Structure 1
Amino acid sequence: MRLTLGDFARAAKSRLDPAVWDFFEGGAGEERTLAANTEAFDRLWLRPSVLRGAGRPETAATVLGCSWDAPVAVAPLAYQTLAHPLGELATVRGTADAARVPVVISTFAGREIEELAAAGGGPLWLQVYCLRDHSMTRRLIGRAADAGFEALVLTVDAPRLGRRLRDLRNGFRLPAGIVPANLQGHDFTVPALHAMTEFAPDLDWSVVDWLRSVSTLPVLLKGILTGGDAVRAAEAGADGVIVSNHGGRQLDGVPASLDVLPEIVAAVAGRLPVLLDGGVRRGRDVLAALALGADAVLVGRPVLHGLAVDAQRGVTDVLDILLAELTDAMALAGLRTLADIGPRLVRPAVVRPVGEGG
């Protein structure tokens, strides 16, 4: 019986080829940032209030003017067909079976955009890498808009991919038949080498204007880690920011997403929505992020774990667990709606010096 997202992670590891597991799970460098993302949530305590009549909490959220069943979305995850042949198709269907929340589809998805839009799921957003060939990026965005996608998520922290030592040690290459279904004409076999040759290396803030010129969809910038960049994003016309260190997969040694969230929330001062990804593994983690000012969170690797374990049903089970934990945590913390969540809900955990007894 799998009762936590950790249970799904352990089951997925036993099912996946070790090199594929490392591709999904690994981070850059010594993986300090990868570890920090989950540890940051462990450094916070929740402070419940009692007798609040919160036994049936409401998790509904509104982000970018759209109603979601919960303040949770599925993060962009490349090459999901490595986890299961149905890949993103199972993820979209499985997410819809759990709740009406967005799924962010990677530029490097293994299933075609039109197929995913026709799957009858919930809201779809497109994650965008700007390639040297701007016409290829433009065509991808146009196809997503025509298919009914609702937003663009521009990844801004990847002029190239980070140095991921697990992949280097494994000599990781995409197996035969695993390709990005929405891109053509390139050799994608080694993701890091492809990124080095095909990602636009000279992106600056004008890219937001360029996206505006090719699409009317809302634009969120993913990979913001400082208040200054969050302000620049607002000034450049972004519709939202996602506080993210790319799951610890880009520059090792940067802070956990949760640790920089308060700075970014203060900097944007309500001018645009702030979302967070990185390290969310429990319903109470969602509460902690919202208490520190996030409007919603994105969940990544646990969705891959569910996909690897039981395809569409596994994705549904992972999200059902997370949302059930969120509902339980809200009720037990005395929170009737998301509007009741604020900074008073959390406090830093007290860490005793080594050797101190009591």
Structure 2
Amino acid sequence: MNDTTTPHAPLSRIPSDILCAQDYEALAAHFLPATHHAYIAGGSGFEATLRANREAFERVQILPRLLRDVTTGHTRLTLLGQSLHHPILLAPLAFQALAHPRGELDSARAAEATDTCLVASTLSSWPLEDIAREGCVEKWFQLYFQPMRDSTLDLVQRAEAAGYRALVVTLDAAVQRPSLRAQRAGFRMPDTVRPGNLIHHATPPPVELERGQSRIFQGLMREAPTWDDLDWLMRHTRLPVIVKGVLRADDALALKAAGVAGIIVSNHGGRALDGVPASLDALPAVRAAVGADYPVLLDSGVRAGSDVFKALVLGADAVLVGRLQVFALAVAGALGVAHMLKLLREELELCMALAGCATLPEITADCVTHRHA
């Protein structure tokens, strides 16, 4: 049954009751239509992986070092040859106009104001060129392979021309459907929200299945990317290619051997295959497989600066923040996203200072212990 309560309009100020970054998650429900909130907040299946992502962070406990001088501390890092002010990136989220009329444009403004790297989605509500014009210097483009290679190549070339500095290829969500939570809430994509990057791309005809063929195997998965597609992509772009959706050490090793520039350990925020491990639980084995110097990022479940710290301890070079981004966007647009990022960064800095880590390389394996379930 749909909730008919009228949501609040986005604010032009920071709400006084926002005291930490995670507060935006609870407050967003008052600013989103109930069906939109269900679509954004929900996970796939029975949401076991959605829950596991948070439980994994809660099992990790921080072991602070005493008497360390951190007065020269900072959060700077170099990633893929790019100098970043901090290890927190805005994850690619589709259809941000569901949360705010300006959607990704306001997220890009917030990224620019906070020295944050933005990853723009193939399924953004606004064209990638419009997002780039918001002035965000550090920006990557997230790519979904399209059914026709000409369409994929068009997206790649547009991203290159617009100044995006890396391609993030998502490989764990070849089939995308609204979650059970969203379906039960009655979510339907509004006619006014469309994929801004794809409106001029031809839609291939529906697959005609023969008797006895599977709607899944021979239908939905017919256009799913393969190793051949990834190899083709890397031969047709000058940008570094990062693969998002890695949970297995053997996949990580194979991607590294294939020339992929880096990987993102991710379960799609619990929105792809339900029942897979939490991204944080998969991270240590992936890091051990690829070695210390290979770029590894993490997303799924990050809600606080202490979560960022824990991810760095367990092997990530940086993290991506997804749902918090769109929750803050719903509450206060660009101002909300910028404030959320400011809070996350300060929470990370406070965690580092109290744990005795002045710089990111000082965040090492002995900084945490694990609480068993």
TM over 0.5: yes
Partner of 1:208: 230
From the superposition, tell whether residues 332 and 55 of structure 1 become closer, same or farther in structure 2 (CA, over 3 Å): farther
Partner of 1:148: 163
Q: Give the paired residue count.
A: 343
Which of 96, 107, 124 is the equivalent residue of 2:112?
Answer: 96
8 A contact 2:253–2:290 mirrored in 1: yes
- Structure 1 position 331 matched with structure 2 position 353: yes
From the superposition, tell whether residues 34 and 76 of structure 1 become closer, same or farther in structure 2 (CA, over 3 Å): same
8 A contact 1:162–1:251 mirrored in 2: no
8 A contact 2:85–2:116 mirrored in 1: yes
- Alpha-carbon distance between aligned partners in 1 of 2:123 and 2:340, rounded to the nearest angstrom: 23
Residues 188-246 of structure 1, C-alpha deviation per residue, up to 9 Å, x if partnerless?
xxxxx9xx978863422122221122211000000000100000111111000000000
8 A contact 1:160–1:201 mirrored in 2: no
Amino acid at match of 1:324: E
- Structure 1 position 312 matched with structure 2 position 327: no
8 A contact 1:208–1:236 mirrored in 2: no
Partner of 1:69: 85
- Alpha-carbon distance between aligned partners in 1 of 2:186 and 2:168, rounded to the nearest angstrom: 30
- Alpha-carbon distance between aligned partners in 2 of 1:247 and 1:186, rounded to the nearest angstrom: 29
Partner of 2:148: 133
Partner of 1:57: 73
User: Please, which runs of 5 or more residues in structure 1 have no aligned partner?
Assistant: 188-192, 352-358
8 A contact 2:39–2:178 mirrored in 1: no
Partner of 1:16: 32
8 A contact 1:132–1:198 mirrored in 2: no
Matches within 5 A, 1:238-257: 238-257=260-279
Q: Which moved more, 1:275-284 or 1:116-125?
A: 116-125
- Alpha-carbon distance between aligned partners in 1 of 2:110 and 2:116, rounded to the nearest angstrom: 11
How far did 1:342 drift?
Answer: 0.7
- Alpha-carbon distance between aligned partners in 1 of 2:219 and 2:84, rounded to the nearest angstrom: 38
From the superposition, tell whether residues 26 and 94 of structure 1 become closer, same or farther in structure 2 (CA, over 3 Å): same
- Alpha-carbon distance between aligned partners in 1 of 2:35 and 2:342, rounded to the nearest angstrom: 28
Residues 110-145 of structure 1, C-alpha deviation per residue, up to 9 Å, x if partnerless?
112111111112311111111112211111111110
- Structure 1 position 224 matched with structure 2 position 243: no
Q: Which moved more, 1:321-330 or 1:6-15?
A: 6-15
User: Please, which runs of 5 or more residues in structure 2 have no aligned partner?
Assistant: 1-15, 204-214
- Structure 1 position 117 matched with structure 2 position 132: yes
8 A contact 2:245–2:264 mirrored in 1: yes
- Structure 1 position 28 matched with structure 2 position 44: yes
How far did 1:163 drift?
Answer: 6.5
- Alpha-carbon distance between aligned partners in 2 of 1:186 and 1:39, rounded to the nearest angstrom: 42
Residues 322-342 of structure 1, C-alpha deviation per residue, up to 9 Å, x if partnerless?
001011011100011111011
- Alpha-carbon distance between aligned partners in 1 of 2:269 and 2:92, rounded to the nearest angstrom: 11
Identity %: 43
- Alpha-carbon distance between aligned partners in 1 of 2:73 and 2:306, rounded to the nearest angstrom: 14
3-state secondary structure, aligned to 1:347: strand
| Runs ≥4 residues deviating over 4 A | 196-200
8 A contact 1:92–1:122 mirrored in 2: no
8 A contact 2:63–2:366 mirrored in 1: yes
